[in-house]
Amino acid sequence: MADSFQLEIVTPEKLVVKDSAEEVQIPATTGYIGVLPGHAPLITELGAGEISYRSGGQVHRFATAWGFAEVLPTRVTVLAETIERPEDIDVARAQQTLQEAQDALKSADSEAEVETQIAKVRRAQARIEVAEQKNV
Amino acid sequence: MASILDIRRRIRSVINTRQITRAMKMISAARLRRAQERALAARPYAQMLTNVLKSLVTRADTYDSETGEPLHPLLVRRPEQNVLLIVVTGDKGLAGAFNANILKAATRFLESKRGKKVQIVAVGRKGRDFLRRRFRAAESTSAGAGSDSQVTLVGEHVGVLNKIDYALASEISEQVIARYTHAEIDSVYLVYNEFKSVIAQRVVVEQLLPVEHIGAPEIVEASSEMELREKQRAIDAAKGTGVSLRPADTSAVDEAAAKFATAPVDYIYEQPPRQLFGSLLPKYVATQVFHALLESVAAEHAARMTAMESATVNAGDMIDSLTLSMNRVRQAKITREIIEIVSGAAAAQ
């Protein structure tokens, strides 16, 4: 069994990553999934969270808001609606969004409203997490 | 007759204009190249998404097996009462008939939807200005008269086209999806200038919602292809600018994208296919909008490039004819002076 697989991360605007990786973690809506080479074929939707992959011992990390992934034994393709590198994230803004969304959540009166605000909270949290781990 | 000085002044002014139009043409050519690259870069995502959806359609029962009713709100067809039209034009003029053609198509479309309520979302300043001038009045008179044809401008996105990003497309599509899901509108159309290459473009009206065929946008109406003369002008304009005349080669990208999520294996679905389909379909709509925006931007730059090339050529012609008449005037003046001297000398004898 090969010890690496092809990884592609694609956004609506461009191909962001085309690399060989030894391991990737993706934020499926049902929880994080770690993928090693030779993984069984899998299709999943991604929620807000962190995509990280290890390539040549180096770990690369990104924040995403929504995505979709196909896992094959030798290839992983991630469609991500947004991709942000930790250094590009404006933590202060994310904090502010988080605060606003949490406040809006308390006063939300419809189910749809609650859902959109929860999604906002998740996205903001994901961005903050990705950005802050980098500084550690 | 104008004096030599006047004509010389005019020549100088036309030369200056020609310099400006030439520079504008080169700028448009550079922007066009960039827009084409962006459109190409956006292709894998759109293609992959389309492919996943196509393969999901067969697995997820998108239609109720008993009643034949679609199970996703974006597939539902309703009698068309309220129509939403997204008009994509440019922010700036000086692009030949680019904006006029789109607005003409939009107006024709509105004619065809007479009797229904039409709401318009304008993208681009030129379209917004035109539609606002035209329909603000229509709205106030028809409200009182109880007219059965109502056209209102409900949204606008202005000054966004020179740094277009997916977030804009996503915002537009989320708005229309929300309203479609709430049955406020029964169909959504897009009118924009399609761009395959400098010599292959047309204005199309595309049906965005309800989604009819995934991967094959429903073109409701399309203008005819460019005339030979227009094509020739575009070819001349593209010369020496590094802009390719052929449509970009997408076969490699498409082939790679075609493999996405369609391997002949049994996938584990983390979520039920129907749920996946449900969350992917809105994204598909967003990529359609994004695609339209990207093509429109490319087409605008191409139109401006062609228009500026024509302007440069026309300025050259004008300089030639002005130079000719200046020389004539000078000649006439010299001749007159000689006659005066000769006749003066003759008189003195």
Q: Read off the CATH number of the domain in which B218 is found.
A: 3.40.1380.10
In a domain, B307, yes or no: no
Judge whether A98 and A128 are in contact, CB under 8 Å. Answer: yes
Give the total number of structural domains in chain B: 1
Task: Please indicate, yes or no, if residue B197 is contained in any of the structural domains.
Answer: yes
- The pLDDT value given to residue B100: 92
Look at residue B229 and tell me if it is in a domain: yes
B248-258: buried (b, 16+ CB within 10 Å) or exposed (e) per residue?
eeeeebeeebe
Instruction: Give the pLDDT band (50/70/90) at residue B66.
Output: low
| Separation in Å, CA of B177 to nearest CA in chain A | 14
Q: Which residue has the higher pLDDT, A1 or B118?
A: B118
When CB atoms are compared, the residue of B268, B275, B287 closest to A41 is: B268
The C-alpha atoms of residue B158 and residue B87 are separated, in whole angstroms, by 12
A68/B268 CB distance under 8 A: no
ipTM surpassing 0.85, yes or no?
A: no
- Pairing mode, if any, of strands B187-197 and B150-157? unpaired
Q: Is B122 in contact with B87 (CB distance < 8 Å)?
A: yes
Contacts of B231 (CB under 8 A, 6+ apart): B199
Q: Has this prediction a pTM greater than 0.90?
A: no
Contact A43 B169 (CB under 8 A): no
Would residue B77 count as lying in a domain?
Answer: yes
Residue B99: inside a domain, yes or no?
yes
List, for residues B202-215, the tens digit of each pLDDT value: 899 999 988 887 77
Low-confidence ranges of chain A (pLDDT < 70): 1-2, 134-136
Question: Which chain B residues touch A12 with a CB distance below 8 Å?
Answer: 42, 45-46, 166, 169, 286-287, 290
Q: Is B203 within the bounds of a domain?
A: yes
Summarised one tens digit per residue, pLDDT across range B160-186 is: 888 888 999 999 999 999 999 888 899
Dihedral class, residue B68 (left if φ above 0, else alpha if ψ from -120 to 50, else beta)? left
**Domain for residue B193, yes or no?**
yes
CA–CA dist A77, A16 (Å, integer): 11
Phi/psi region, residue B212 (left: phi>0; alpha: psi -120 to 50; beta: rest), is alpha
Task: Give chain B positions within 8 Å (CB) of A72.
Answer: 263, 265
Does B339 map to a domain?
no
Q: What is the DSSP letter of A59?
A: E
At B197 the pLDDT is: 84
Name, in order, each residue with C-beta under 8 angstroms of B3's C-beta and a sequence gap of 6 or more.
Answer: B329
State residue B62's pLDDT score.
67
Distance in angstroms (rounded) separating the CA atoms of residues B244 and B36: 10
| Cβ-Cβ contacts under 8 Å, A15 against chain B | 41, 44
Question: What type of residue sits at position B254?
Answer: D
Over 70: is that where the pLDDT of B146 sits? no
* Nearest residue, CB atoms, A42 vs list B41, B270, B287: B270
pLDDT bucket at B220, cuts 50 / 70 / 90: confident
pLDDT at site B132: 86
| Cβ within 8 Å, pair B260-A11 | no
User: Which residues of B are less than 8 Å from A44 in CB distance?
Assistant: 269-271
Interface test with B, best of A46, A77, A111, A116 (most B CBs within 10 A): A77
Identify the bridge partners of residue A33 per DSSP, sorted by sequence position: A26
State the average pLDDT for chain B. Answer: 85
Length of chain A in residues, anyone?
Answer: 136
Pair of tokens at residue B297: 């931007």
CB B158 within 8 Å of CB B129? no
User: Which region among A1-15, B53-67, B123-137 has the lowest average model confidence (pLDDT)?
Assistant: B53-67
pLDDT in tens, B79-109: 888 999 999 999 988 888 899 999 999 999 9
Between A and B, how many CB-CB pairs are < 8 A? 78
pLDDT digits over B31-41, tens only?
A: 999 999 998 88
The model's pLDDT over B297-323, given as tens digits with 9 standing for 90+, comes to 999 999 999 999 999 999 999 999 999
Domain that holds residue B166: 38-295
Least confident piece of the model among A105-109, B4-8, B57-61, B218-222: B57-61
